Amino acid sequence: DTSFSSHVADQFRSYEEDRQMASKDVLYATSNGVPMPHPYETQRVGENGPLLLQDFHLIDLLSHFDRERIPERVVHAKGSGAHGFFECTDPIPELCSADIFSTKGKKCSVTARFSTVGGESGSHDCARDPRGFSVKFRTDDGNWDLVANNTPVFFLRDPAKFPHFIHTQKRDPSTHLTHADDSTMFWDYLCNNPESIHQVMILMGDRGIPDGFRFMHGYSGHALKLVNKQGDWVYTQIHLRSQQGTKFITQEDSASKSADHSQKDLYEAIQRGEYPKWSVEIQTMTPKQAEQVWEKQKINVFDLTHVWPQGQFPRKKIGEFTLNENAINYFAEIEQAAFNPAHMPPGIEPSADPVLQSRLFSYPDTHRHRIGVNYQQLPVNAARTGFKFGNFQRDGSMAFYNQGARPNYLSSIDPIRFRPRSVDLDKTHGHFTGEAITFLSEIRPEDFNAPRALWRKVWDEPARARFIGNVTGKMEVCREPEFIKRQIAIFREVDEEIATRLEKATGIKGYDGISKLRFNGTHNGMTNDAKL
SS3 assignment for 80-139: EEEEEEEEECCCCCCCCCCHHHCCCCCEEEEEEEEEECCCCCCCCCCCCCCEEEEEEEEE
264 near ligand HEM, rule: CB under 6 A: no
Which residues, listed in sequence order, are joined to residue 460 by a DSSP beta bridge? Answer: none
CA 380 to chain centre: 17
322 near ligand HEM, rule: CB under 6 A: no
73 near ligand HEM, rule: CB under 6 A: yes
Could you tell me if 116 and 76 are in contact, meaning their C-beta atoms sit under 8 angstroms apart? yes
How far apart, in whole angstroms, are the C-alpha atoms of residue 205 and residue 411?
60
57, 83, 149, 198: the active-site residue = 149
Could you tell me if 298 and 446 are in contact, meaning their C-beta atoms sit under 8 angstroms apart? yes
How far apart, in whole angstroms, are the C-alpha atoms of residue 320 and residue 87?
6
Which residue, judged by CB position, is nearest to ligand HEM in the bound state?
A: 132
Closest distance of CB 166 from ligand HEM, Å: 8
Q: How many residues bind ligand HEM (CB under 6 A)?
A: 27
Cβ proximity to ligand HEM: between 316 and 370 the closer is 370
Alpha helix stretches (DSSP H) within 325-353:
330
83 near ligand HEM, rule: CB under 6 A: no
Closest distance of CB 83 from ligand HEM, Å: 14
Q: Reply yes or no on whether 149 is catalytic.
A: yes
Integer CA distances (angstroms), 140 to 102, 106, 321, 356, in order: 12, 10, 16, 25
Cβ proximity to ligand HEM: between 224 and 338 the closer is 338
Could you tell me if 241 and 279 are in contact, meaning their C-beta atoms sit under 8 angstroms apart? yes
Could you tell me if 139 and 133 are in contact, meaning their C-beta atoms sit under 8 angstroms apart? no
Return the range that interacts with ligand HEM (CB under 6 A); candidates 132-140, 224-232, 306-314, 491-499.
132-140
**Which DSSP string do the residues of 401-470 spell out, in sequence order?**
---TTS-SS--SSSPPP-PPP-S-HHHHT-----SHHHHTTEE-GGGGHHHHHIIIII--HHHHHHHHHH
Letters for 139-178 (x = contact with ligand HEM by CB under 6 A, - = none) are --------xxx----x----x--x----------------
Letters for 357-386 (x = contact with ligand HEM by CB under 6 A, - = none) are -xx--xx--xx--x----------------
217 near ligand HEM, rule: CB under 6 A: no
Helix (H/G/I), strand (E/B), else coil: 109: strand
Letters for 414-453 (x = contact with ligand HEM by CB under 6 A, - = none) are ----------------------------------------
Sign of the C-alpha dihedral computed for residues 101, 103, 105 and 108 taken in this order: negative
Residues 57, 58, 79, 234: which binds ligand HEM (CB under 6 A)? 79
469 near ligand HEM, rule: CB under 6 A: no
196 near ligand HEM, rule: CB under 6 A: no
Q: Which helix (H) or strand (E) holds 321?
A: strand 316-325
Residues 97, 116, 134, 506: which binds ligand HEM (CB under 6 A)? 134
- Composition of the chain by helix, strand, coil, percent to 5: 35, 15, 50
Residues 115, 139, 143, 193: which binds ligand HEM (CB under 6 A)? 115
Closest distance of CB 133 from ligand HEM, Å: 6
Chain contacts with ligand HEM (rule: CB under 6 A): 73-76, 79, 113, 115, 132-134, 147-149, 154, 159, 162, 221, 338-339, 355, 358-359, 362-363, 366-367, 370
Could you list the active site residues? 76, 149
